[in-house]
């Protein structure tokens, strides 16, 4: 059962990455280049690169050059991490874990101090009911803040969600750097769960649940960004 749940968490992560890439591509096509780069994407790119910096600090990788933002995006050049294979995975995939934490912080701040209402979302996707709950929570988020009690701060929240989601996925270079480590970790994780060694499976299961919660939050924000994108996509297709 835990092995299947482990693979489900990995599948959720892949969906989060693919949705982020798709949304980034769509918005790049629908908006003028400078508007997309400087207005929509810039804040998310900065957070993305800061996540890589944090990954370097955690893994002991020497930072050689940092470009937080430019027309071509940002970049962090670093030396070999102190942790072989795993270090590259941590540095390259850091935005995939750090950005959901930033999104959670934004959600908490807007809820506590700016009056936005956010229905509870599931902490994991483990059944069809949890998918329905996630969809209902997202629909409730828009309904509560736009129809039940209009809150203009909610538009700022949507903007921050959008810009962070567009920068959520690892870049092609990130995936290339981490490919070998990711394959090794996925293989090792699957074997550990199938081995049913109590201590190893318990530790890995706790790590998997924590990562899974981040992926579910990322998926929820991906879907919010997708809802935001629908009117723009319709308008773009209408003008074609």
Percent of the chain residues past pLDDT 70, beyond the cut? 97
Residues of the chain predicted below pLDDT 70:
1-3, 240
Return the pLDDT at 110.
Answer: 96
**Distance (Å, whole) CA 49 – CA 93:** 11
Residue 99: Cβ-neighbour burial (10 angstroms; 0-12, 13-18, 19+): buried
Residue 125: Cβ-neighbour burial (10 angstroms; 0-12, 13-18, 19+): buried
| Tokens found for residue 61 | 């990788």
Return the pLDDT at 161.
Answer: 94
Span 78-111, pLDDT tens digits:
998 887 778 888 888 888 888 988 999 999 999 9
Span 198-223, pLDDT tens digits:
777 787 777 777 778 888 888 888 99
**Distance (Å, whole) CA 190 – CA 5:** 10
């Amino acid at each position: 059962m835990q092995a299947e749940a482990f693979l489900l968490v990995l599948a959720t992560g892949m969906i989060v990455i693919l949705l982020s890439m798709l949304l980034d591509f769509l918005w790049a096509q629908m908006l003028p280049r400078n508007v997309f780069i400087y207005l929509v994407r810039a804040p998310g790119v900065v957070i993305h690169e800061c996540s890589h910096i944090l990954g370097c600090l955690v893994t002991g990788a020497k930072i050689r050059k940092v470009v937080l933002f430019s027309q071509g995006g940002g970049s962090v050049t670093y030396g070999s991490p102190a942790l072989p294979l795993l270090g590259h995975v941590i540095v390259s995939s850091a935005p995939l874990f750090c950005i959901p934490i930033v999104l959670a912080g934004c959600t908490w701040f807007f809820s506590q101090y700016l009056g936005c209402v956010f229905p509870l979302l599931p902490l994991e996707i483990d059944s069809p009911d949890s998918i329905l709950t996630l969809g209902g929570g997202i629909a409730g988020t828009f309904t509560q803040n736009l129809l039940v009690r209009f809150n203009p701060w909610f538009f700022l929240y949507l903007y921050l969600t959008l810009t962070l989601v567009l920068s959520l996925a690892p870049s092609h270079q990130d995936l290339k750097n981490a490919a070998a480590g990711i394959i090794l970790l996925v293989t090792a994780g699957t074997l550990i769960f199938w081995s049913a060694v109590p201590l190893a499976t318990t530790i890995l299961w706790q790590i998997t649940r924590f990562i899974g919660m981040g992926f579910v939050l990322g998926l929820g924000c991906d879907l919010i960004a997708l809802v935001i994108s629908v009117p723009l996509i319709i308008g773009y297709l209408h003008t074609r």
